Amino acid sequence: MSTAKPLAGLRIVELGTLIAGPFAARICAEFGADVIKVESPDGGDPLRKWRKLYEGTSLWWFVQARNKRSLTLNLKHPEGLAILKTLLADTDILIENFRPGTLEKLGLGWDVIHALNPGLVMVRLSGFGQTGPMKDQPGFGAVGESVGGLRYITGFEDRPPVRTGISIGDSIAALWGVIGALMALRQREVKGGKGQIVDVALYEAVFAMMESMVPEFDVMGFVRERSGNIMPGITPSSIHTCADGQSVQIGANGDAIFRRLMRCIGREDLALDAQLADNAGRDERRDELYALIDAWVGSLSQEAVLETLAQAEVPASRIYSVADMFSDPQFLARDMFINGKLPDGRQFKMPGIVPKLSDTPGATEWVGPTLGEHTDELLKGLGYDADAITRLRSEEAI
């Protein structure tokens, strides 16, 4: 295994706040990129104060900003802006998730940045993208999930739409941002291209995950609706309640798997039923099948259900909480919990690195930094001496 990381040598400047931009930069930092997070001296990224706080700082922050260096710059001050331009002149990727037009108002539009550094790749994450009639509207992940189609199909048919328990739209957009950045870098480095803009709209990031929704509507006029825990057309796949009140997810929609499940529940006749040999036929009789599976699961404990299905090689699982994950052998075997240290020295668990690279894996070198922790270090690297840094700080430029 190599000790080198695949993105070592890349410099990334992050101008984002909260979730989408910072998550994209975090992924790059975990795999070796030098990520410089530019924050306002006046409090920095609001994520520092979101959700559960430990001695005044969000536990989420320590994960979201791991391996990053924090530089405080007042971008409304001429010298703060000048420092950023100096930094961008020697940067590979700029990641920003401001509302479109914000950087332009600061004098940092693409024309300026591209002239300053023709090789720089600019990742722009926003609610609705950099063009179109909705580009100026604010758009958090919740809005992107709503416009992109996810909220409409999530929940039960007789109830209003619901959200997932996390900001999934922001995270999906971040993944597209990283993919786009790496594509643009390949174009630059392998094919001799220049830097370019990677324009990621949150609603489009979600929309891109909507599977067969578009052709089904275009060709057949079919509008996918909320369907609770089942997925019409993919049968059987649902959550069922055991005799002890615990839940299990069973996915037996594969043809051979379905036959194994039917034999588990003592219905050899259904395993051999020609109408149930494929998804289309099973879906026509899904109410009948789900009633049978519900009755079988409801007669046994969760442990008995899972043991029986495991022996029959039918995909199934209990519904994990984070407490379940902490002691689960699979999570532990794949290092999905790693140790970090809080500022007071206390050890705490963080999520492990994804994906797993066999030769150049990612790692956590340090947790999210204090506000401006690396400002002096970075400014010295740009040629500022101690007196100049003191003056900049007194003038509130940094």
Q: How far apart are CA 39 and CA 270, in angstroms?
A: 62
Tell me the two tokens of residue 307: 């043991």
Is residue 218 part of the annotated active site? The answer reads no
pLDDT greater than 70 at residue 287:
yes
Beta strands in 252-352 (DSSP E): 316-318, 337-341, 347-351
* pTM more than 0.85: yes
Average the pLDDT over 26-32 and give the result: 98
Q: How far apart are CA 29 and CA 32, in angstroms?
A: 5
Q: How large is the average pLDDT for residues 273-294?
A: 96
CB neighbourhood size of 385 (10 A): 10
Q: What is the pLDDT of residues 187-244, one digit of tens each?
A: 999 988 899 999 999 999 999 999 999 999 999 999 999 999 998 889 999 999 999 9
Contact 257, 271 (CB under 8 A): no
Whole-number pLDDT of residue 232: 86
pLDDT digits (tens, 9 = 90+) for 371-395: 999 999 999 999 999 999 999 999 9
pLDDT in tens, 127-143: 999 999 999 998 888 99
Q: Please say if the pLDDT value at position 41 is more than 90.
A: yes
The catalytic position among 136, 170, 218, 335 is 170
- Report the run of H or E that residue 340 belongs to, with start and end: strand 337-341
Q: Is the pLDDT of residue 2 over 80?
A: no
Structure tokens at 253: 């929609």
* CB atoms closer than 10 angstroms to residue 346: 10
If you count them, how many residues does the chain have?
Answer: 398
Say what the pLDDT of residue 139 is: 86
The answer to whether residue 10 scores a pLDDT higher than 80 is: yes
pLDDT at 352 over 70: yes
pLDDT band with cut points at 50, 70 and 90 for residue 1: low
Tokens (6 digits) for 78:
């001429």
Query: Which strand (E) or helix (H) includes residue 69?
Result: strand 68-72
Q: Give the angle subtended at the CA of 183 by the CAs of 120 and 181, to the nearest 5°.
A: 50
DSSP string spanning 31-63? TT-EEEEEE-TTT--GGGGSSSEETTEEHHHHH
Q: What is the pLDDT of residue 290?
A: 97
